[in-house]
A and B are shown apart, each in its own frame.
Chain A
Amino acid sequence: MTRPVLLDHDPALPSAEEAPRSHDLKELVLYGLGRSKWIVAGTSLVGTSLAVLLAASIPNNYTASGILRYTPGLREQQMSPEASAGMDVALVAPSVVAELFLLNDPAVFRSVADEYGPFKILDPEDPTQYDDESTNPALRGLHELQKKLLTAQRAVPEGADREAAVEAAAKQLRADTVFTPVPRSSIIDVTHTSSSKERAVEILDLILDACVARHREQYHTKERLDDIRAREAVLLGRLEEARTAFRAYREESSIDDVEKARGRIRVRIDSLDRQIVGLESTIASTTSELEFLQELLDSIEPDEEVIEPEIRSVNPRYQTLVAEKERAMIDLMLVKKDEVLSFEEKKRQVVALEETIAAYDRSIGETEPFVVERLETSKTQPNPRWVELAREVRVLEGRQRASGSHLKGLQDELEEENERMEYLRSIEAAHAAKREDVEASEREYERVAARADELEDLMRLDEAGAANLSRYLDPRRPEGKDGPPRGKIAAVGLIMGMMLGVGLAVLRQLLDSRVRYPGTVEREFGIRVLSTVPELRTLRRLTSEPAAKKG
């Protein structure tokens, strides 16, 4: 987008594309104020009115002042919380802070509220009470308005419970009362603010009395002494009980015998310990020897094989064959010698017998004359080395079993002795605890008894009526009003209303979507404004002025 050079172009005038959209401060604030002057005036008026109403709703303040004198002494030291906590009170200086904490006790203000009347405290002074016929009507109206506002915002409604009213009044009194210690002195300035001079003085007078009474009550020793004495009696009873229980236990437990028995048992335990250690060492060496023998035994065969000699005997068949042959030879001889027989027959028989004999010879030749008989070819028998080793192993095993049972017996005995020792120790511990109880009870009793003696001395001060917080200066009547700063409140309202109005005016300018000023056209659109023509009525007004002058 390009625009030709026009007129005497002002380099300061932005072109349309570079025209910023920001607002000019003069247009935003000054023109905004001029344009929205009635809005600013309205918000200022509303702010001021609200502030005036607020200021009217705050009653007048009058402050009365008095002085208390605080001279802490032995009693404050002895009765301080530090002393009660058991600290060395000689090292603890009585603190004015603690005293101020005491004086701000709600009980102080409750007693004042109860005595003065809670409703009277809660109701501010009637602003119309001094108005009469001579009072300015505007001022009277303002007082009436103020009275209505004060009535509307009262803390406790009419006819409310008195207890609640006392609580509310005490709270208000506490808020309106200030205790200020003067540094490096025993003086405490006390001020109380109320809605009238008389009321401020009266209430402060009661507050000073209540403070002194509260101090006396706090450091009053009679009750504390009674408490301590009662506690002393309780502790004494507890001490006697502890002593009786200690004696009874001592007799019951025969503590002297226990101590002797404990020595004996100690000696026996030591002896058993030594025996057990020796036996355990023996068992250990036997075990290693046994393991060695066992390994050796495992490496040897438990049995060995033995070979038996042969048994030679005559073969019965051989004997039978020989006998048959002899018989055949006899028969042959007989045949040969027989003469009865024919030759042929004889010959045939001789041949047959010879053949038989020959057959017998062959059979005899083929048959072993003796028979070799093995009744058992081999037999096994225990290895004597193995047997020897096994015997040794059995002996060692027997010995180890005997040692083990002996050790078990010793250990059982040791355990019994230890249990016995433990029992004796528990008796001794219970005895020691009871003795400690007695000693602790004695210490506590002695401490309380000493404290009771101290309080006895302090009580004599109480009986003399001495108090270390006293009224040093009576309440002084306030000379003038302290507040509220109604002018300042109204001014703040006015300023806040104006600020709100200015904010609205600026916002109105920011939100304006119309062309209103030449600067807007030049700045936002980059168009030079050749001239501005005033509004017609403005023109007419302007033109009428010289005419009037002429006329």
Chain B
Amino acid sequence: MSFLQGYGFVGLLMLVALALAALFILLPCLLTRLRVIPRKPSPIKTDIYECGLETQGKTWVQFNFRYYFYALVFVVFDVETIFLYPWAVAFNKLGLFALIEMLIFIAILVVGFVYAWRKRVLEWK
């Protein structure tokens, strides 16, 4: 099976999956037209559901900035894993030198990790 043939199947699967999802959403529309599915909207029904209380204020709330911090650290370590994947694939050919190389690479990043731990920024406060 050639290179693009495999990805062609994946692309085809994506199209079919999108079509299936569209079908799942459009089918109830058709059934609504046929009066199988009821459709009786009212202001209260189409209001935001917050356990029976009327919703107050804006939906937007100030979120904990820690979410953003975790995302930043996540991006850094995600980039690190990108280097690890080709390294792992070719490891059997590369040998000891590559192992030490990667050890240094990770050690430098672990310094950042330990720093974060010691500065207690990994706690969620």
Please say whether chains A and B are actual partners in one complex: no
Where the two chains meet, the residues of B that have a C-beta atom closer than 8 Å to any C-beta of A are none
